[in-house]
Amino acid sequence: MDIVVPMSTLHSPGRGRDRWQDTASAAGLLADDGSVAVTIFAEMSALAVRTGAINLGQGFPDVDGPEYVKQAAIAAIQEGRNQYAPGDGVPELRGAIAEHQKRHYGLDVDPATEVLVTTGATEALTASILALTRPGDEVLTLEPFYDSHAAAIGMSGATHVTAPLLPGPDGFRLDVDALRAAASPRLRMIVLNSPHNPTGTVLTRDELTAIATVARERDAIVVTDEVYEHLTFGAEHIPVATLPGMAERTLTISSSGKTFSLTGWKVGWVHGPSDLVTAVRTVKQFLTYTSGSPFQPAIAQALADDDTPRALAASLADRRDLLCSGLEAAGFTVTRPAGTYFVMADASGPLARLGLRDGVELCRRLPELAGVVAIPAAAFCRGGSPTAKALASHVRFTFVKSPDVITRAVERLARGLRTATP
Ligand SMILES: Cc1ncc(COP(=O)(O)O)c(C=O)c1O
């Protein structure tokens, strides 16, 4: 028998909003009439399937990670590593994470007390935000931001404040004065993301130093999402935890999904001082407790391998150039990213030619006009914010697709946008 939840249970008069509504609202998904929209990513991916368009919207690789890592997971399954892994993660993976942080960044991390394996970076982020913030606190992110950061802040009941990351001659750069102005005495946490989705910016030492100064002045915790740490093109990725006085107030989050092209395995982690990690563990253990038992030893092996991510970054740099040149030829103005899978393109030219209002309208029409799917920058901004207005004409494309797919997509864009009529 179906269980029918009467809508009055969800919308009792005078009850106010539940956390799911705060979450939906924070991610820009709650309509005025109380209905919830699907994310723009889901909408655009469905549109790609329906129209047969090339999906340069969602960022997932079209080629799997290394065979030896897949074989290691298969072997782990066959060896019987199929029951609950320890809540903190298997010891060999915690050890490999600590070793990775030491080898790449000189960070001293105790694998016994300062590392927690999570269900992707997403769980690490949400558990960190839920564990350490509450209503009345302010949580600062850069804007545009990755949507799950905003959703988790909404879930915690804290207030989301932002500092803009806007395009200029040196790419998308942080407005340091705006950052200082946004940091009130109620600031509890700064959620960073570098290399940054959606802009592809890699924050410079000066920008990170400004952020670190604000965090220390306001006694705020920094949560840093570094899932694209190895996917940089010439720019140096600097973990904020390596800056003076920052390791003791920073939770560093990463994931094997992007580094090893195994996004579906959802093996992520967070590390930081043991008191902060204890707080995150307390929440995390009641979200999933543990996950991915046979994948964890496989990722432990992979983390010793620097060649795979280096080769991926080199091939992504070529694919970035292919996509950027093709977008320019199709009339977009691009800001070349220094990291990640993504490029932000200003569509002012095509918008003016086609008489379209903004990037949202363009993305909804792009499958029919050109057979390509992209994501509007608005999906990464708060509705009506100054940053949303400044980036209204921008759209995000991914280049984590084969050169052949990218070539076909940019040919379609050039042809489709040239021949389309207003
Ligand atoms: C900035 C950022 N953080 C986190 C994630 C999700 O990571 P995971 O799949 O490990 O949960 C993504 C995926 O697109 C991302 O772009």
For ligand 1, residues with CB inside 6 Å are: 59, 120-122, 146, 193, 197, 225, 227, 255, 257, 263, 266, 268
- CATH of range 67-302; options 1.10.3720.10, 3.40.640.10, 3.10.20.30, 3.30.420.40: 3.40.640.10
User: Residue 200's Cα: distance from chain center in Å?
Assistant: 11
Please give the distance, rounded to the nearest whole angstrom, from the Cα atom of residue 60 to the centre of ligand 1.
Answer: 10
The 10 Å Cβ neighbour count of residue 295 is 27
Q: What is the model's pLDDT at position 8?
A: 52
Q: What is the pLDDT of residue 370?
A: 95
pLDDT in tens, 111-154: 999 999 999 999 999 999 999 999 999 999 999 999 999 999 99
The domain segmentation of the chain, as residue ranges, is 1-37, 39-63+309-419, 67-302
| Contact (CB, 8 A) for 387 and 393 | no
Q: If you take atom 13 of ligand 1, which residue's CA is the nearest one?
A: 59
Choice from 197, 201, 202 to test ligand 1 binding pocket (greatest atom count within 8 A of CB): 197
**421 alpha carbon to ligand 1 midpoint, in Å?**
37
State yes or no: pLDDT of 346 exceeds 90: yes
The arrangement of strands across the sheet holding 138-143 comes to: 115-119, 267-271, 250-255, 221-225, 187-193, 138-143, 159-168, 171-174
Which residues, in sequence order, are CB contacts of 376 under 8 Å at separation 6+?
40, 358, 359, 360, 362, 363, 394, 395, 396
Instruction: Tell me the per-residue pLDDT of 144-192, one tens digit each, with 9 for 90 and over.
Output: 999 999 999 999 999 999 999 999 999 999 999 999 999 999 999 999 9
- Write the pLDDT tens digit of every residue in 358-412: 999 999 999 999 999 999 999 999 999 999 999 999 999 999 999 999 999 999 9
Mean pLDDT of the chain: 95
Predicted pLDDT at 316? 97
What is the 33 CA–ligand 1 centroid distance (Å)?
30
Strands (E), 84-219: 115-119, 138-143, 159-168, 171-174, 187-193
Distance 219 CA to ligand 1 centre (A): 27
Q: What is the CATH topology of the domain spanning 39-63+309-419?
A: Aspartate Aminotransferase, domain 1 (3.90.1150)
Phi-psi region of 192 (alpha: psi -120 to 50; beta: other; left: phi over 0): beta
Nearest to 230 by CA among 264, 270, 195: 195
Q: What is the pLDDT of residues 298-316, one digit of tens each?
A: 999 999 999 999 999 999 9
* Nearest CA residue ID for atom 14, ligand 1: 59
Q: Tell me, what amino acid is at 25?
A: S
Given the structure tokens 């292919």, which residue do they identify?
322
d(CA 133, CA 130): 6
Compute the radius of gyration of the chain from its Cα atoms.
21
Residue 95 has pLDDT above 90, yes or no: yes
Best CA proximity match to 143, nearest among 28, 30, 19, 268: 28
How far apart are the CA of 100 and the centre of ligand 1, in A? 19
